[in-house]
Chains A and B, each alone.
Chain A
Amino acid sequence: MHDISLDVMPGEKILIVGPSGSGKSTLGHCLNGLIPFSYKGEHTGSLRIAGLEASEQDVFTLSRHVGTVLQDSDGQFVGLTVGEDIAFALENDCMDLPQMHARVRQAAGLVDMEPLLTSSPYELSGGQKQRTALAGVMINDVDILLFDEPLANLDPATGKTAIEIIDDIHKDTGKTILIIEHRLEDVLHRPVDRVIVMQEGRIVADLPPDVLLCGDTLQKSGIREPLYITALKYAGVKMAPILRPGGIDTIDLSAAKGALAAWMHTAERAAPPELRPPILELRDICFAYEPGGKAVLNHVSFTIRQGEMAAIVGRNGAGKSTLTKLLCGFEKPVQGSIRYRGEDIAGHTIRERAEYIGLVMQNPNQMISEAMLAEEVGLGLKLRGVPEAEREARVKQALAICGLLPFRRWPISALSFGQKKRVTVASMLALNPDILILDEPTAGQDFKHYTEIMRFLCELNAKGITVLLITHDMHLMLEYTPRAIVLSEGELVCDAPASEVLTESGVIERANLRETSLYTLAQRTGLQDAAGFVQCFIDHERWMRQQ
């Protein structure tokens, strides 16, 4: 970080945005004392928190003023039950038991977790874990609440609720709130006082959202602006702070109505992809982990065509990962059939299926087991006893497709997260699959890396590889996958273009999604065909990418 000068007034609510590596997490670590307590380094200048010079305080003193809710809601849950986890800070303060129990109940009440005090983390959803973490820092009665990427591990609907809870706490308690996040639009669901944009270790903007959204700072620093703003810009609507563009609910759209309707007719659009023969056909799939037990999948049928790119969406426990297990052969369906190019694959082993279905997991660290890149990518072939000459040729080819050829003699530890992701894709491609299944390929990625990964997947897709994405990232669905298959409690509730899925309130609710701001924009401007408008936006963005 360089030249950071920043004043935060008591009771302010501030959003800090910036791409990965911009220094926004470092700033957070300075505030809560993890720098220099856990991460050493050099510093000049002065940081005062509640009048105290931060570098002279230890992490414990600072934690009385700054309460931090970390990104990893699972990792920061240290107790075996909700109650214990909330009490953690009080335990370390040696508080008496009766007083502690009373305080824990009170803090749990603030975030509606009181009925779940004895639940273990395995019984909780991501949102509930985050509420627990919030209660765990509020219990110290801190003045400043710092949220480090609070939306990273939450589905859209839960993320929306999280932003609402933060806002309610801000209103009720008047605490100072700092939110570090790169998903600007999702945070702006509720108003903030200021947005601080960081880039390459510097503050490049410190503005109220209404002003920030009128300029071009966001595009320059690799942050995605809210979709409704993008749509309005496409339609040629001029932005001005006086129109209050900071929120989809506050923006004055009186001038936009005609422009949007006109744009819908004139926008350049990409042609819809042609229909190809089926590559995967699922017919009436039923599955339960225990015989006679609860059905995890219930009569699910759909067809994936060659060269398609589709998203499989649904809340946790909807059956998405079970579906993957069935496709890859880790589990066998109780009923129904899976066909690959017209052939029933019930008799195929996990290993055989891996030659046509490649599975790429969310966290590349969970897949990489070799130290050197070429070995890692060739591992699957080596395990299959493919001769060395052929192996080398195929590894080279896979690395070339993934743009990793220059690194092939590199140790994997020297690669970035995005590059590691490519390595895991390359190790699958070495087996020549026709279908790639990716679990949350963009989770935790900022806009730049996200775009990089998705462009890469689109290139693979253009080469004829069928791509299935398991995701709850709505932007990903909107921008990249023409089709979304929505699961809810083991049933297929919708199989339609993303534009329809994200404008259909019943489906949105069942899949824990939220409606896109484009839909709200269409409704507020009185456009008749809201889904058509969203589709127009998607097609236009695809057209722009093709240019």
Chain B
Amino acid sequence: MKIKVFSYNTLDTPIHHMSGLSKFICFLLLTFTVMFSYDIRVILCMLVFSLWVLRLSQIRFSQIRLMVIYVAVFLLTNFVISYLFAPEQGPEIYGAKHIITVLWGRYTITWEQLLYQGTKTMKYASVVPLGIIFMLTTNPSEFAAALAGVGLSYKVAYAVALTLRYFPDVQRDYNDISMAQQARGLDMSKKASLGSRFKNALLIIIPLIFSTLDRVESISNAMDLRGWGKNKKRTWYARRRFSRQDVAGIVISVLFFAAGILVSVFINHSRFFNPFQ
């Protein structure tokens, strides 16, 4: 079931119709916008937009449940630890201090800190759906084709596709090996100490490396026999032409990008939105 984590689905949605390269460009533009701005209004707009795109691409919650849980845990930890280390970061940035309540010593809760940390959390939260969309709707070979199309060496680009192709195989090997070793008495559960778990993991990884090396030989033979590396260039079966969706996607992303910058330059006169002054 783990195999599903890395697989993309082929569905008939505008997002799936976009080429991997333009999705990547949009991803970079939108991520940059979110990362640049500390304006909660801009970021909430981006969050709503990225959730809408997530819906548009027909990704089911069951597909991403695990990822969502990891991200939520990460965000929560990040929130708490940021507060513990720098409870005064917000007042410092906004140049004001409206105390709501005092917890203990220097640990006060201020509106400024809440806004700052809330903004930061929302930033992460709005980037994650974009990443998920990119991963789950992009055909890796098509993306590799696009990367090669913009000048990246095709050998590097193909390595990306090849990794995705064989990742599930290696994962399956890992499961098999781990089963065989557990049957011999290897304890991988939480009952074992960290040190022995590490040692035990090695007992799985060594056979995994050897069986993977076996595979590498047969893959490279298969590729050589079919003319891999014969020419300086190659064409790509999965290559896609730029479509209307690509243009639309990039135009929308550029608009968001420009709007994000303009808000910072002309309205906030800074990367931060400051309602306290």
Indicate whether A366 sits within 8 Å of B235 (C-beta atoms), given known contacts A75-B219, A379-B184. no
Q: Within the assembled complex, what's the spacing in Å between the Cα atoms of A328 and B176?
A: 13
| Contact for A365 among B182, B210, B226, B237, CB less than 8 A | B210
Q: Which of A75, A92, A97 contacts B239 (CB 8 A)?
A: A97
Contacts of A75 in B (CB 8 A): 215, 218-219, 222
Known contacts A72-B218, A78-B162; A361 and B176 CB within 8 A of each other: yes
Is B182 in contact with A350, judged by CB distance below 8 angstroms?
yes
Scoring B164, B222, B229, B238 by chain A CB atoms within 10 A of each residue's CB, the highest score goes to: B222
Residues facing A in B154-212 (CB within 8 A) are 161-162, 164-165, 168-169, 173, 176-177, 179-187, 202-204, 206-208, 210-211
Task: Evaluate contact between B239 and A34: CB separation under 8 angstroms.
Answer: no
Q: Given A366-B177, A369-B181, A92–B219 Cβ distance below 8 Å?
A: no
The reply to whether A136 and B226 form a contact with Cβ atoms under 8 Å apart is: yes
Count the A-B residue pairs with Cβ separation under 8 angstroms: how many? 162
Q: B220 an interface residue at 8 Å Cβ cutoff?
A: yes
Closest Cβ neighbor of B208 among chain A residues: A366
Give CA–CA (A351, B183) in the complex, Å.
Answer: 6
- Stretch of A46-54, A83-91, A154-162 on the interface side: A83-91
**Judging by beta carbons under 8 Å apart, are A122 and B168 in contact?**
yes
Among A63, A89, A90, A354, the residue within 8 A (CB) of B185 is A354
Judged by a CB distance under 8 angstroms, whether A461 is at the interface is no
Q: Are A91 and B184 in contact (CB under 8 A)?
A: no
Is A465 an interface residue, CB under 8 A from the partner? no
Q: Does B140 contact A (CB under 8 A)?
A: yes
Cβ-defined partner of B237 (8 Å) among A71, A84, A428: A84
A80 touches B140 (CB 8 A): yes
A151 within 8 A of B: no
> Which chain A residues lie closer than 8 Å to B226 at the CB level?
63, 88-89, 92, 136-137, 140
> With A and B bound together, what is the CA distance between A122 and B164 in angstroms?
12
B277 within 8 A of A: no
Name B232's closest neighbour in chain A (CB-CB): A94
A367 within 8 A of B: yes
**CB-based contact A289/B1 at 8 Å:** yes
By a CB distance below 8 angstroms, the chain A residues around B221 are 34, 38, 70, 76
Q: Are A427 and B184 in contact (CB under 8 A)?
A: yes
Q: Per DSSP, are chain B's interface residues mostly helix, strand or loop, or mixed?
A: helix
Instruction: Give chain A residues whose Cβ lies under 8 Å from the Cβ of B173.
Output: 366
Q: Which residues of A contact B3 (CB under 8 A)?
A: 122
A30 to B215, CA, bound (A): 21
Q: How big is chain B's contact interface, by range?
A: 35 or more
Cα(A330)–Cα(B180), bound, Å: 10
Q: Is A101 an interface residue (CB 8 A)?
A: yes
- Tell me the bound Cα distance from A307 to B219 in angstroms: 42
User: In the assembly, what is the distance between CA of A357 and CA of B179, in Å?
Assistant: 13
CA separation between A384 and B187, bound complex, in Å?
Answer: 10
| A307-356 interface (Cβ within 8 A of B) | 325, 328, 330, 350-351, 353-354
Q: In the bound complex, what is the Cα–Cα distance between A63 and B227 (angstroms)? A: 7
Contact of B235 among A33, A80, A94, A427 (CB under 8 A): A94
Smallest Cβ-Cβ distance to B168: which chain A residue: A122
Please classify how large the interface on chain A is, using the bins under 10, 10 to 19, 20 to 34, 35 or more: 35 or more
Tell me the bound Cα distance from A311 to B214 in angstroms. 28
Partner of B164, one of A72, A80, A354, A379: A80
Q: Report B128-176 residues with CB < 8 Å from chain A CB.
A: 139-141, 161-162, 164-165, 168-169, 173, 176
Chain B residue numbers with a CB within 8 Å of A88 are 223, 226, 228
Are the C-beta atoms of B231 and A93 separated by less than 8 Å?
Answer: yes
Q: Which residue of B lies closest to A386 (CB)?
A: B185
Inter-chain CA distance A103–B180, complex, in Å, is: 44
- Closest beta carbon of chain A to B167's beta carbon, Å: 11
Give a binary string over B215-250; 1 marks a CB under 8 Å from any A CB, 0 the rest: 100111111111111110111111100000000000
CA distance A366 to B164 in the complex (A): 21
B13 at the interface (CB under 8 A from A): no
Query: Does the CB pair B210–A328 fall under 8 Å?
Result: no
A328 and B235 form a contact (CB under 8 A) = no
- Asked if A367 contacts B207 (CB within 8 A), the reply is yes
Task: State which of B1, B161, B234 has its C-beta within 8 Å of the C-beta of A94.
Answer: B234
Would B238 and A84 count as touching, CB distance under 8 A?
yes
Chain A CB within 8 A of B82 CB: no
Residues of A within 8 A of B184 (CB): 354, 379-380, 383, 427-428, 431
User: In the bound complex, what is the Cα–Cα distance between A88 and B225 (angstroms)?
Assistant: 11
* Cβ contact within 8 Å between B224 and A366: no
Give the docked Cα–Cα distance between A445 and B106 (Å). 73
Instruction: Assess whether A369 is in contact with B231, with CB atoms less than 8 Å apart.
Output: no
Q: Which of A91, A96, A365 contacts B214 (CB 8 A)?
A: A365
User: Sorted from nearest, which 3 A-B pairs have the closest CB atoms?
Assistant: A76-B222, A75-B218, A87-B237
Task: Give 5 A-B pairs besides A94-B234, A357-B183, A366-B176 with Cβ atoms closer than 8 angstroms.
Answer: A75-B215, A75-B222, A92-B229, A122-B168, A367-B207
- The 21 sampled A-B contact pairs (Cβ below 8 Å) are A38-B221, A63-B226, A70-B222, A72-B215, A75-B218, A76-B218, A90-B235, A91-B236, A96-B235, A101-B237, A122-B168, A328-B183, A330-B179, A365-B207, A365-B214, A366-B211, A368-B210, A369-B202, A383-B184, A383-B186, A431-B184
Chain A residues with a Cβ under 8 A of chain B: 32-34, 37-38, 59-60, 63, 67-68, 70-72, 74-81, 83-84, 87-97, 100-101, 104, 118, 120-122, 136-137, 140, 289, 325, 328, 330, 350-351, 353-354, 357-359, 361, 363, 365-369, 379-380, 383-384, 427-428, 431
Residues of B within 8 A of A (CB): 1, 3, 7, 10, 139-141, 161-162, 164-165, 168-169, 173, 176-177, 179-187, 202-204, 206-208, 210-211, 214-215, 218-231, 233-239
